[in-house]
Structure formats: C-alpha cells, structure tokens
Amino acid sequence: MVQFLLYRPIAVLVSTFALVVLGIITFNQIPVSLLPDIAVPEITVQISFPNTSARELQRTIIKPIKNQLQQVNHLDNLEAQTQDGLAIVKLKFDFGTNINLAYIEVNEKIDGIMGQLPREMVRPKVIKAGASDIPIFNLNVTQKEGFGNSNMDLSEFCENVLRRRIEQLKEVAMVDITGLSQPEVVIFPDQSKLRSLGITEQILKENLLKNNIELGNLLVKDGQYQYNIRFSTALKTVEDIENIYLKIGSQQKGERVLQMKELAQVSIQEQQLGGMYSFNGKRAICLSIIKQSDTQLLQLRKKLNAQIAHFKKEYPQLEFHISQDQTELLDLSINNLIGNILFGGLCTFIMIFFFMNDFRTPILMGIVIPISLIVTFLCFYLFQISINIVSLAGLVLGIGEIIDSSIIVIENIEQYREEGHSLDEACVNGTQEVIMPLFTSILTNSAVFLPLIFISGIAGALFFDQAIAVTISLGISLLCSYTLIPVLYRISNLKEEKLIGFVPRKITWLMKVSNSTYDRLFYFVFRYKKGMLVFFSFLVIVSIPLFSNLDKSGMPRISRTEIEVKIDWNEAITVEENNRRVAQLTKTIENSTRSGMYVSAFIGQQQFLLNRELQQNFNESLINIKVASNQEFESMQIEIKKYLTYHYPKTIVSFNAAKNVFEVLFNTTESPMQARVFNSRNIDIPNIEQIDLLNSELNKNGFYSQMPAMQNRFYIQILFDRLLYYDVEYERIVQSLKTIFSQYDLGSLKDEQKYIPIFLGNHTKPLRIMIQQATVLNNKGQYLPLGEFIKISNQEDYKTFYLDKSGGFIPFNFTPSNKDVPFLQSSVQKIVANHPNLHVGFSGAFYKNLEFVSELGLIILVAIGLLYFILSAQFESLVQPLIVLLTIAFGLTGAMSLLYFAGNSINIMSAIGMIVLIGILDNDSILKIDTMNRSREFMSLEDAIRISGKRRLKSQLMTFLTTILGLLPVLFSLGLGAELQKPLALSVIGGMFLGLFISISFIPLVYWFLYSKVWKRVN
C-alpha cells in the first residue's frame, strides 16, 4: 500500500487538498460553545397558589402531586421546596433518559391529578431544564434624568421596544425579563362621605362593573353596504372611572346623582412590589438573552454588541450595562487553549530540530499538523461535535499523537537509510515495520476510552465527547503516518538522493548525552537486578497511601470571579426594606471593589419565566458581585458575612459561584454533606421544638449548621357568633378586609397596550391602626368597628418546607473536608438517635464523588482488561502484555504523586489524563517490546534488549518532550479552559516522568527475567 502511494504522490496531494478545502468550508459551520451540548436530565414543576401558607400548600397540594409524579418512568430523585403561595418540584432522571418523552409523561401526570386540586388553582408549569436556557448575558437598563416620569415608563419601553428588537435576531431564542413595574388603578373612597350617604363598597363595585361591560362587535347591513360596529363603553382611562355616575338615595328620601370623583380619589400607580432588581445600587430592568441551541455563540455576541451600540446611540438618556457574560468565559477559555496549542507546537518544532539536526523534519511537521487539524474539523462537522474545551482537549491529544506517530515513522525510515537501503525501500520498509504497532497502540487507546462512556451522569457524556474527539484524532494521526508522511518525506529528500545520495545526520550533543545516560542506567540496573526489583516494588507500595489521601471530587476546583450571595433576612420585612438593606450592603461592597466590577441584586420575587433559582420570597435577595480575582472572591465572602452578622444577626446567608453552564451542569455549589432530618412517627416534618433542640446539641458538639429560616404569620379569625348577634354579613367583613389590604378587585381598565387591574384601596398605615379605624355596615344600616368581629394572632412557622421521596425533612448543611465526613456522619447519627421521634439521612457532593470514583475505578479495570486482550493478540503472548500493564501501573503512580504534591484531586479531568497517559505509555512499551522480539532472533538477549532500547530512545525522548512541552503551558495559564485541563496535564506529566524512567529501566529488566532462561535453553 505504501509503495502504491509513493509512486502516485499527485493523487495523494490532490486528495489531501480536497479534504483540506472541505474542512475549511465546514469549519465556520461548527458550533462553538463552552462545553458539549449535554441534555440535563431534569424537569421542574412550578406550582403557584397565592394566599396559601407554605405548610398548607405542602400538605394539601405538594404531597398529592409528589405521589403522582413518583410514578414517572426512569425517575432517579424527586425534591420539592415549598414557600407561601409557591412551590418548586425538581425531578431528576437517569442520565440517558429521553427528556422529551419524560416531559410529556410529567404533563400527563399533572393533567391526571388536576381534578383533585382546587379549581381556582392555576395549572402547574412544567419546564425542561437545559444548559442552553442559561442566558449568555444580562443586559441591565437604567435611566438617566429626562426619561419618563417613573419606572413604569422604563418598564413599558424595555418590554415593548428593546425586548422585541433583540428577539428579532434569528440567533436569539427569547429575552427573559425582570424588574418590570406594572400599573394598577386604585380607588381611594372618602369613607366619611360614604357613611353619610349610606354607600357601601359593594355599591361602588356594582356601578363600576355596570360601566365596564364589553359589548363586542356587531355586523350591520345598510343596503348594499355592511358595517362592523364596535361599542366603546369599556373603561379605558382614569378619567373614564372618575366620570362614572352613581344614583344615590330613593324616591321617598330624595335622589342625587354623583360622579365617582366626588366620592373617591382615582389614581394610576405602580402595583404593590413583590420584588425588584437593581444594578450598582440603581433600580434597573434586567433583560436575559437566551440563545438558540445551535447558535455560534461568539457570532451572536458580535451581533448583540452592534445592537447595544445602536441602543446607546439612539437612547442617550438610558444606560446599558452587561453582566454575567458567558461569552467572556468561552472566549478566554478557548483562546487560552488555542494559545497553549500554538506555544506547545512551537516548542515542539524547536525540540525536533535539536534532536533531528535538520530543518526538513520540523517543516514536515508544520505541513502535516495543520492538514491533520483541518481534516479533524471536517470529521467534527460530520459527527456533529462542537468546538468546546472538551473537544479541544481531544485535539491537543490528537496533535501529540500526530507528532509522536510522525516522529516514529520518520525515525524508522532514517534508520533504514543508514543501513544502506534506497530512499523508496526505506520509506516502504520503515513505514510498514512500525505501522502495525502504531495501529495496535491506537486501538488500545480507543479501547481504553470506550468503557468510559458507560459512566453514569454528566461525566459519561463528557467522556463520550472526549472519546469521539480523541478517536478521530488518533485515526487521523494513523492515516497521516501511513499515507502523507512517507510521501512528503520522499518528495523532500528525492532531489538530494539523486544528487549526492544519503548523508547520515550528525549525532547531536543532546543525543550523545542521552545515549551515554541510557548506557549507564542500563548497566547499573542489570548489575543490581534484585535490588532494583525491590526498589520498583517500593514505588508501587507508596502509591497506595497516596491514592487514599488524595481528595476525590466530580470536577476540579476552579477559580471564580463572580460571587453569588443568597440572603434570607429571616424577618417579615417589606420589599422596600429589603431593597434598603441591599442598597446599604451594596455601598459597602462598592467601596471595597475596584473599577470595572459590578453588583447586581435580585430583590424579592422575580418575573423571569425560565430562571427557577429566583423563585424567592419577598424578604430574600440574590446578589451577584463581579470581582477581580479568586482571592477577592474569598475575601468578599468574609467581608459580607462579617457585615451581615454585625448589622443583621438573624440573617441566613450562603455563598456560591455565579451560575454559568459549567456550574449548572456539574452542580458545583452543592454542599459536601447535608443531613436530612425526618419525623419517624408520621409523614409530617419534625416540629420546631424538636429541631431547635437538635440544633443546640449539634452546636454544643462543635457541628455548626444554620437553623432553618423561620417567619411570623398573622392569622385573622372571624368571630361568627358576633356576626350573628350584630346582624353583620360575612361577605361585608371580607370586603372590608380586602379594602384595607388594597386587594378588593373591581375588574380591569382596558388600555390600548394591556389590561390594568382596578382595586378599591386604602391609604397605607400600620396594620393594627387600619383595622381599628375600619368599620363595617350591618343589615340595620349601622356602622360598627371592624375590630370587634375579628381576632388577630401571631404564629411562628418554617419559612420553607422540604420534601423528597422519603417524605418531608429539615436540612442541615455542613462543609467538612472529605476526611472528616465519615466522623461527622457517625456523630450526627448518634446525636439524632437520642431523639426517638427523629431519624436522619445523608446526601451531598461527597457521596456523589465517592460513587463516581468507585464507578470510575471499576470501569478502568474493565478498560485495562480490554487492553490486555488486544496486546495478547498483538504479541501472541499472555506474558508480554503484563509488562505493559506494569508500566501503566507505575505511570499511574507518577500521576497520583504529582496530583498529590500539587494539591489537586482525582476528578473527571485527572481521570481523563490518566487514560491519556495509559495510551502514551502503552505506545512506547508496544514499540519497544516489538523491537526486542525481533532483535533477539539474531543477537544475545542482553544486547537485544539494550540495542532495542537505544534504537527507540530518540523517538521515545521526542515523544516525552513533545507531550510535556505541549501540556506545560496549561499549568501556567488562566481561565476555565486551562483550569479544567490542569489536572489532566498534571496526570500526564507526572506519569510521563516516572513512565520514561520505568520504560528505560524496568521494562528491560522484567523482559530479561522473563526470557533469560528460555534464551539459555535455546542457545
């Protein structure tokens, strides 16, 4: 095959050129994203039932829904959080579940239970979770002086103008929005006039409804013409309400006609706030831009930047700021990875020149690597793989494999030429000799990656994407080594061969040093064979405690530059007071942050449709703070905690990294350990006294966790006996209470843009004063004090109720180190055991990480088993593959040692690094053993081992250095991409250093022990 290609170089070059052109054309069509497009196996059900307490909602609504949803297929876990009037049920499915079918089934279950729920309750919303639902950034709009009269004008402009213009971009899926002010019409009656005229709130409502009837359209024929007639009796403006006529009195006592404006004050104002949004201390509107799933993210950012530039020019009275920009993370991560690839490639070319002492080989690499990359991108397009930090990591490995394979082929061709073969013979024989071991090494690499795709969860999806990217890169490297390298080598050397023949290259000083070092080490090892075996055994034993002491985590620790502060003031404060406190905190933060930083605050309830994390209560806030560095990220937490503890000691606060694709996919903010306390007597949650006592005992023993948030509720009880005694109707009591709380609904004002609700209201005063001053009319026409017919009581209860498959529970979150978790778990179990009515369960990141590491270990064993069988077929021996496996064991020891001393952990990325390491080490071992097998047929065993090792030394050192130089920049780079790749780089570098030493010393020694007796018998 190689000979066939050598004599048809034009066909090879034309075919290569065609593939390159196709790759360039398709490159711009490949999606660019931070991480692979992984479907999150999660569905959220949002239940809204206003004016219902959290306890009542959990007991009457959430538990029946939970029992219904537990029947959904492939459901892994179910959790619910319930607050006053609102609940969120999260359904987590087994990874690989068809989330579209699960979405349909969940909706069917909701439809099936609607008949058992209150009729007035709105149907629960079912929302599919997805990484693409995370906004690419938030556009914050604030107003300068001169724009409108209120926040309502800004809200209307953002909703009807800015939002629509952004959504016109085809790359934008939707614009989610919060911070809007909604208008309402409030009628404030003059109570003294109403009493003197004998008018009740019911009379006002009836007259308003009579004047607000929508008659619709009528078709009227007039001869040969037909007209569409519309009645305009509906109320459209505040003046329409003020001009409503009311007929007061009777024929006996006299009748009067009055207008509404004579009896009440009518005004349009901002609805009572359930929440608001602020940016850098100013009230703002937040527009969250959500992209289409297949959109080029960086291209969308350019279009949005242009759109925002137009907004700034057209509306100078507005300020536009961007926050939580996901494209910055993508841009920085990918640029760093590309920079690392280029820097590593440059170092590799320089290193190749020093080894080969020839410009042609680096130039050859400079031609082959770009061609291979472009063809790889063509395969990415065909296999629908996006360009992301995972697939780029596969490319890094692919480039290393292309360089390694090319070096091995070129080096072998050079050795044949030094033996006196012609250029064509050297190209054919040199390539044919190593192609089978190269094919085996690539097959073993693929075999090692294959079982990893069966890891459960998001990790399995990442491994799948990585495995496809690596397999494509490996396949391209083998194809280039077998076809393009020998053809290009022949073309570059053909002229010189014809003119002066082959001139052996001078041995460089680097190879002289390497050869002499190799000889000394070889003779030393073979002089002290048994001592060296003991030394190698010691190295393996040392790795056991290293592995047990290494931290285990799902994903590596990464630096964060945007902190998310979740605040529960743990007091029944208003939204306005919530905003005041946040503003005070913001001023403190702004004084300590540098320019370019920002503070955005989601105060109380938010209006987002898709953001499930912001379904919070009116006395809660979520603050996002952009900081300069990871050190400031840590110090900011301490500063905020100190401020809140001093000024508001009841506050419950938690700190996390701001949400991005990475955080959402891997749930990095989950507590290491959460103790869930259940009531063992019944399905209800433990009472407050039990939890308070348990929390005190935990604190006494040094296990600190915040007490669950509590809230005070006012309960109004209507005294029915007094209603009967004073002849007062129940409906009038309810009407009076609704009027006091400005909740007496009188219909809506039909504006041109929207329907504006109309309420009968009362001027804001303290609650007890409003009740004391309020009156109610009985059937005898007497006005009686409202306070005589109601009783107000105060009661403390949990603010949030939690539920999972096992029932209702109270959570206690702890943040121990991994080493302390077993002790903490047993201690908590003992303390809870002292309470006979309680029992405890545990969950958290620690347990998931432990499960992941156990699963990963099992699958790696399966991968090594596959590797053994492939090598057995290659070597036709059951013993020689064990040498390769021993080399891999030492390489993994080196990887864990460097991870340990660098303060890193065993995680998904370091595991990928270990898999890559296995592939690199078995490449060298396969080639070396294959050369030893062929060499011992015509020389002594020791000479065969030594000469075979020296023959592969140059390619082995070049492979070692190209790998190290390619990964070294990752250790000193910043950004998410580099930080994710750092554990991978540490694993490979640590394993390569020890693996090189083992390959030069241990493999020859073991090979000699295995075959020395056999060789003596034969000879």
**What mean pLDDT do residues 567-573 have?**
86
**Res 622 pLDDT > 70:** yes
In this predicted structure, what is the pLDDT of residue 1019? 43
**Res 665 pLDDT > 90:** no
In this predicted structure, what is the pLDDT of residue 1015? 47
Q: Starting at the edge strand that comes first in sequence, how are the strands of the sheet with 318-323 ordered?
A: 172-178, 285-291, 137-143, 318-323
**What mean pLDDT do residues 172-192 have?**
86
Locate 542 and state its tokens: 């040392």
Label residue 195 by pLDDT band (50, 70, 90): confident
Label residue 209 by pLDDT band (50, 70, 90): confident
**Res 280 pLDDT > 80:** yes
Distance of CA 151 to the CA centre of its chain: 33
CA distance 633 to 559: 9
Task: Give the CA angle between residues 414, 415, 417 to the nearest 5°.
Answer: 65
Query: DSSP labels for 617-650?
Result: -TTEEEEEEE-SSHHHHHHHHHHHHHHHHHH-TT
**Res 468 pLDDT > 80:** no
**Res 353 pLDDT > 80:** no
**Res 105 pLDDT > 90:** yes
| Residue 438 · residue 926 · CB < 8 Å | no
In this predicted structure, what is the pLDDT of residue 107? 92
CA proximity to 767, closest of 712, 710, 709: 712
DSSP label at 35?
A: S
CA distance 516 to 105: 71
Beta strand 905-906 with 551-552: parallel, antiparallel or unpaired? parallel
In this predicted structure, what is the pLDDT of residue 1018? 43
Query: DSSP labels for 161-207?
Result: IIHHHHHTSTTEEEEEEE----EEEEEEE-HHHHHHHT--HHHHHHH
Looking at every residue in the chain, the average pLDDT score rounds to: 79
Prediction pTM value: 0.75
**Res 287 pLDDT > 80:** yes
CA distance 302 to 38: 25
**What mean pLDDT do residues 518-543 have?**
83
In this predicted structure, what is the pLDDT of residue 54? 86
More confident residue, 745 or 1006: 1006
**Res 832 pLDDT > 50:** yes
Distance of CA 663 to the CA centre of its chain: 3
pLDDT digits (tens, 9 = 90+) for 626-653: 887 777 888 888 889 889 988 998 888 8
Instruction: Average the pLDDT over each of 452-466, 793-807, 902-916, 955-969 and give the range with the smallest value.
Output: 452-466
For a pLDDT cut of 90, what percent of the chain falls above it?
A: 5
What element of type H or E holds 331?
helix 326-356
pLDDT digits (tens, 9 = 90+) for 129-160: 665 667 888 899 998 865 656 788 888 889 88
**Res 507 pLDDT > 70:** no
In this predicted structure, what is the pLDDT of residue 149? 60
In this predicted structure, what is the pLDDT of residue 26? 85
In this predicted structure, what is the pLDDT of residue 716? 82
CA distance 141 to 162: 10
CA distance 381 to 400: 22
| Residue 556 · residue 980 · CB < 8 Å | yes
**Res 369 pLDDT > 80:** no
More confident residue, 539 or 78: 78
In this predicted structure, what is the pLDDT of residue 603? 92
CA proximity to 833, closest of 680, 705, 701: 680
In this predicted structure, what is the pLDDT of residue 1016? 46
Backbone region of residue 346 per phi and psi (left: phi > 0; alpha: psi in -120 to 50; beta: other values): alpha
